[in-house]
Amino acid sequence: MPLGLNIGAPVRVYSGSMLEVTGLHKRYGDLVAVEDVSFVARPGEMVGLLGPNGAGKTTTVSMIAGLLPPDRGEVRIEGGVVHGETDPVKLRLGLVPQEVALHDELSARENLALFGAIYGMRGAALASAMESAFDVAGLADRAKDRVSTFSGGMKRRLNLAAALLHGPRILLLDEPTVGVDPQSRNQIFSSLEELKRQGKTLVYTTHYMEEAERLCDRIIIIDHGKVMANDTLEAVRRLVPSVNVLEIGVENPGQDGWLDGLRAVEGVSAAAWDGSTLRVTVLDLLASSPPVLVWLNEQNYRCSHLSSQRADLETVFLTLTGRSVRNA
Amino acid sequence: MSYTAFQALVRRDLRLFFQDKRAVTMSFVAPIVIASFFGYIFGGVADDRPPSKIVVAVVNQDNSEVSGKVVAALAADAALDVKSRPLEEAREAVRGGKTTVAAVIPPGFADRAGKSFFRGGDKPEIQLLYDPSHATEMQVVRGVLMQHVMEIVSRDTLGGPSSQRVLDDALRDLDKSPDMKPADQAALRRMLQGVGEWNQRQQANPQAQANSGFSMPYTVSQEAVTARKGVQYNSMAHSFAGMCVQFILFMGIDAGMVVLYQRRSGLWKRLQAAPLSRYVIIGSRAASAAIVAMVIMLTVFGFARVVFGVRIEGSLAGFLGVCIAFAIMTATFGLLIAVLGKTPEATRGIAILVTLILVMLGGSWVPAFIFPQWLQKASFAVPTRWAVDGLDAMVWRGSGFDAALGPIGALLAFAVLFGAVAVWRFRWES
């Protein structure tokens, strides 16, 4: 993994917000995809948009990138609003789409050359940017190979590199680690942390809590198109200060709705089954744990193990929305 | 920035196309193979070889000298391949498609034909059994049969061994015709007696007898009017023009499909996020498709030139003009598919159907002059008709550049229409 990463033009010091999103609203027929989403992102800051699939994260990013016109609201990039398809303000943005947006039939080098050229890059500047991008992706030795021969993780890394060629100051990353192996994921994380150190602004959508906890300075929890929380990681955690989570292994879980009774137990604020573990959020660990175990015993559920932990982002999401982010 | 992006996008499209073995096969090999096949079965390269003969079965139920001469004359005709068969066998051969026409000469044919020659009345009937899928050949056989029967029956009636008996019978019947005016009776009697006298003279001179009877009162000379005197028609020229048009349109469909797939794959998000106008994206797509279309046309016609000797007998500039106009039209046709289509799967079938209709109406499969009049006129409403006519005019008709102006203008007008709709209906999202 290369260190001393230096992609594109240096970030100029900007006194205000690099990115200012105000009151974004998007509707598809009767479905409100995004409702009044507002936030700001500063230089060197990584903002995580956290929520389950269908929460409105991609729609929000699409509106920021200019892919979708908002019904209401405004996006300001370094104080400027994008006007029209060819507005140079768009040069300040880099987009890493959720899809692996590459040409499988072309080599990695040909792909990057194309994506650099669509930003008007050529000659020595393009060659230099491509070299740096290959370093970011850790794919310098595979530059001449066709993308179709790459693993999923390598494609994701190249997908990220393609967005960096023109030296954007703001990077929009829409679930950039979906389907990525742990090694590639760590490589992507290291690259993003380096970019952040260089002062770039990153907006990162994910439904992986641990990613948001590791990478993001600011967390925006979004569900059903609405912002449920918007603050630093610690501040978001403090939203549920006394919350504890019981993690219980259940050998014979019930059918749909089997947890409804548990949610009615006094002291239980949420309960979710992720396929292997039952996560029960309680306000008072000592007072609420016995009734939970009694209920499970009365319903003839067999428990294999039991543990408890402090609130993490998953717990916060569960508490705020009443459902697990991964099963939502 | 726009020009750099435009160049890069065109280069990408060309590289993707020429790396795609299926696309290259469909666009280059398929038109060459199919055009060669159609060109061959519709006549191939013109030369002095005789055309294919029509297979005819003759059922001679008369077995007279006259019917035998008719069968022999048919067998000697250059247009026919004659085989004598029994009736049922002949019928079965027609039904099975092994024989195009069967001519059944009935019993008593010679006798009744001779009598009917002067008096009409009880004419013998030659039955033609024909394959309904070869109605045109049946008309040819009918004409050839009429010619030989008239020549042989008239020769037999006016100079053959039975001619005097036929004339005597006719004179007897004349006397039994009370309704005929006396003056008419007298005139006809004089003519029959004169024919009888002529017969007797001819029978005394066997050499002259052979030349008696009716014969075709004219001869025919043929000249295929092509580009220039001495230049032979090469059916490969039309065949290659038609197949070129068809498979280039298929390439246009693929160009449109690629846009739909790219939009689905997220590649368009990258383009949209960049400061690029839709005109750069649409224009680069159109330019690359037009370049590919030109390469296909020049390659396919180059093959036809080298292998089958198809020459541009008309204006080379006109030929290139039609090719360029058609290439641009195809490119905008592909764009139209891209902007109107929703998903690649749903769009492909409709696009192929539309293309096949365009190709059919344009005369790529069969020349447009075979169509009914109204359809010939209506087919000018499709661009393929202009393309095929324009290529035909420049390649084998040997027309000048002025004859290319109409097709070029029409094709460019279609291109402007398709391009305008493509820009109007363009949308970024799928």
How confident is the model over B17-41, as pLDDT tens digits? 999 888 888 899 999 999 999 888 8
Q: Do A87 and B9 touch (CB under 8 A)?
A: no
**pLDDT for the residue B429:** 66
E strands, chain A, where?
Answer: 19-28, 31-41, 46-50, 72-77, 93-96, 170-174, 201-206, 218-223, 226-232, 244-250, 268-273, 277-282, 303-310
pLDDT (mean) for B249-267: 88
pLDDT (mean) for A76-88: 88
Q: Kindly tell me if the per-residue pLDDT of B45 is higher than 60.
A: no
CA angle A312, A318, A319 (to 5 degrees): 90
B33 and B88 together in one domain:
no
More confident residue, B150 or A7: B150
Q: Do A117 and B20 touch (CB under 8 A)?
A: no
Domains of chain A: 19-237 (3.40.50.300), 244-310 (3.30.70.100)
Number of structural domains found in chain B: 2
Chain A, chain B: beta-carbon pairs less than 8 Å apart? 88
The answer to whether residue B226 sits within a structural domain is no
CA angle B269, A143, A106 (to 5 degrees): 50
State pLDDT tens for residues B69-83.
999 999 999 889 999
Q: How many residues does chain A have?
A: 328
In chain B, which residues have their Cβ closer than 8 Å to the Cβ of A100?
A: 265-266
Q: Kindly tell me if the per-residue pLDDT of A8 is higher than 60.
A: no
Range from A14-28, A275-289, B408-422 that averages highest in pLDDT = B408-422
**Chain mean pLDDT for chain A:** 87
Q: With cut-offs at 50, 70 and 90, classify the pLDDT of residue A111.
A: very high
**pLDDT for the residue B208:** 61
B251 and B358 together in one domain:
yes
Q: Do B429 and A67 touch (CB under 8 A)?
A: yes
**Nearest C-alpha neighbor of B333 from the set B249, B427, B423, B243:** B249
The answer to whether residue B109 sits within a structural domain is yes
Q: Of B191, B209, B227, which marks where a domain is finished? A: B209
* A204 vs B: CB within 8 A: no
Q: With cut-offs at 50, 70 and 90, classify the pLDDT of residue A161.
A: very high
* B207 vs A: CB within 8 A: no
Q: Sheet containing A268-273: give its strands across.
A: A268-273, A277-282, A244-250, A303-310
- Collapsing DSSP to helix, strand or coil, B276 comes out as coil
Lowest mean pLDDT among A120-129, A168-177, B202-211: B202-211
The answer to whether residue B231 sits within a structural domain is no
**Looking at chain A, which residue has its C-alpha nearest residue B9?**
A114
Lowest mean pLDDT among A235-244, B179-188, B376-385: A235-244
**pLDDT for the residue A309:** 77
pLDDT (mean) for A267-278: 87
More confident residue, A223 or B169: A223
Q: Kindly tell me if the per-residue pLDDT of A248 is higher than 80.
A: yes
B35 and B60 together in one domain:
no
Instruction: Find where tokens 């099975």 sit.
Output: B96
**Nearest C-alpha neighbor of B279 from the set B2, B12, B17:** B2
**pLDDT for the residue B211:** 61
Percent of chain B with pLDDT over 90: 46
In chain B, which residues have their Cβ closer than 8 Å to the Cβ of A65?
A: 269, 272-273
B23 and B89 together in one domain:
no
**Looking at chain B, which residue has its C-alpha nearest residue A116?**
B5
pLDDT (mean) for A6-18: 54
CATH code, domain with B86: 3.40.1710.10
Q: Do A90 and B274 touch (CB under 8 A)?
A: yes
Question: Which two three-digit tokens encode residue B358?
Answer: 């365009």
How far is A57 from A53, CA to CA, in rounded Å? 8
**pLDDT for the residue B246:** 93
Q: What is the DSSP letter of B229?
A: T
CB A216 within 8 A of CB A239: no
Residues 13-32 of B with CB under 8 A from A: 15-16, 19-20
Q: Kindly tell me if the per-residue pLDDT of B386 is higher than 90.
A: yes
The answer to whether residue B75 sits within a structural domain is yes
In chain B, which residues have their Cβ closer than 8 Å to the Cβ of A66?
A: 272-273
Instruction: Find where tokens 């990013």 sit.
Output: A61
Chain-centroid distance of CA B304 in Å reads 19
Q: Do B7 and A68 touch (CB under 8 A)?
A: no
Q: Kindly tell me if the per-residue pLDDT of A1 is higher than 50.
A: no
**Looking at chain B, which residue has its C-alpha nearest residue A93?**
B273
The answer to whether residue B411 sits within a structural domain is yes
**pLDDT for the residue A205:** 94
pLDDT (mean) for A170-194: 90
Amino acid type, A235:
A
State pLDDT tens for residues A184-198.
889 899 999 999 999
Q: How far B26 CA sits from the closest chain A CA (Å)?
A: 18
pLDDT (mean) for B133-145: 88
How far is B293 from B333, CA to CA, in rounded Å? 12
Lowest mean pLDDT among A135-139, B141-145, B152-156, B309-313: B152-156
Q: Kindly tell me if the per-residue pLDDT of B321 is higher than 80.
A: yes
B251 and B381 together in one domain:
yes
Lowest mean pLDDT among A21-30, B404-413, B418-427: B418-427
* A220 vs B: CB within 8 A: no
**Looking at chain A, which residue has its C-alpha nearest residue B3?**
A120
Q: Kindly tell me if the per-residue pLDDT of B240 is higher than 90.
A: yes
pLDDT (mean) for B369-383: 89
Percent of chain A with pLDDT over 70: 91
Tell me the DSSP string of A233-259.
HHHHHTTSTT-EEEEEEESS--STTTT
Q: How far B302 CA sits from the closest chain A CA (Å)?
A: 29
In chain A, which residues have their Cβ closer than 8 Å to the Cβ of B272?
A: 65-67, 85
CB B385 within 8 A of CB B368: yes
* A122 vs B: CB within 8 A: yes
Lowest mean pLDDT among A120-124, A145-149, A211-215, B330-334: A211-215
Question: Which two three-digit tokens encode residue A210?
Answer: 């641990």
More confident residue, A312 or A191: A191
Q: Do B1 and A120 touch (CB under 8 A)?
A: yes
pLDDT (mean) for A223-232: 90
**pLDDT for the residue A11:** 43
Q: With cut-offs at 50, 70 and 90, classify the pLDDT of residue A12.
A: very low
Number of neighbouring beta carbons within 10 Å of residue B249: 28
Amino acid type, A192:
L
Q: Of B188, B209, B230, which marks where a domain is finished? A: B209
Q: Sheet containing B127-130: give its strands across.
A: B80-84, B54-60, B101-105, B127-130
Residue A184 burial (10 A CB sphere; 0-12, 13-18, 19+)? buried
**Nearest C-alpha neighbor of A272 from the set A319, A229, A237:** A319
For residue B375, what are the CA distances in angstroms to A316, B357, B368, B369? 72, 13, 8, 9
**pLDDT for the residue A238:** 73
Q: Do B274 and A119 touch (CB under 8 A)?
A: yes
In chain A, which residues have their Cβ closer than 8 Å to the Cβ of B269?
A: 62, 65, 67, 95, 97, 99, 101
Q: Of B165, B192, B209, which marks where a domain is finished? A: B209
**pLDDT for the residue B47:** 56
**pLDDT for the residue B207:** 66
Q: Do A103 and B267 touch (CB under 8 A)?
A: yes
Q: Kindly tell me if the per-residue pLDDT of A39 is higher than 80.
A: yes
The answer to whether residue B222 sits within a structural domain is no
State pLDDT tens for residues B273-300.
999 998 898 899 999 999 999 999 999 9
B318 and B349 together in one domain:
yes
B250 and B351 together in one domain:
yes
B341 and B420 together in one domain:
yes
Chain-centroid distance of CA B21 in Å reads 33
Q: Do B276 and A86 touch (CB under 8 A)?
A: yes
**pLDDT for the residue B408:** 97
B186 and B305 together in one domain:
no
- Collapsing DSSP to helix, strand or coil, A120 comes out as coil
B303 and B381 together in one domain:
yes
B252 and B281 together in one domain:
yes
CB A61 within 8 A of CB A33: no
**pLDDT for the residue B1:** 55
State pLDDT tens for residues B92-110.
999 988 899 999 999 999 8
Q: Kindly tell me if the per-residue pLDDT of B111 is higher than 60.
A: yes
Q: Kindly tell me if the per-residue pLDDT of B404 is higher than 70.
A: yes
pLDDT (mean) for A58-73: 93
**pLDDT for the residue A4:** 35
B292 and B313 together in one domain:
yes
The answer to whether residue B382 sits within a structural domain is yes
Give residue B354's domain range: 2-42+238-425
Q: How far A151 CA sits from the closest chain B CA (Å)?
A: 17
CA angle A98, B17, A86 (to 5 degrees): 50
Q: Kindly tell me if the per-residue pLDDT of B218 is higher than 90.
A: no
Positive or negative, the CA dihedral A307, A310, A316, A322 is: positive
pLDDT (mean) for A263-276: 87
**pLDDT for the residue B48:** 57
CB A47 within 8 A of CB A39: yes
* A287 vs B: CB within 8 A: no
Percent of chain A with pLDDT over 90: 55
How far is A160 from A190, CA to CA, in rounded Å? 12
**Looking at chain B, which residue has its C-alpha nearest residue A168?**
B274
Q: Do B269 and A103 touch (CB under 8 A)?
A: no
Chain-centroid distance of CA B356 in Å reads 18
- With residue B297 as reference, give the H or E element that holds it: helix B278-308
Q: Kindly tell me if the per-residue pLDDT of B186 is higher than 50.
A: yes
Which of A85, A126, A178 is most worth mutating to test chain B (most B CB atoms within 10 A of its CB)?
Answer: A85
**pLDDT for the residue A5:** 41
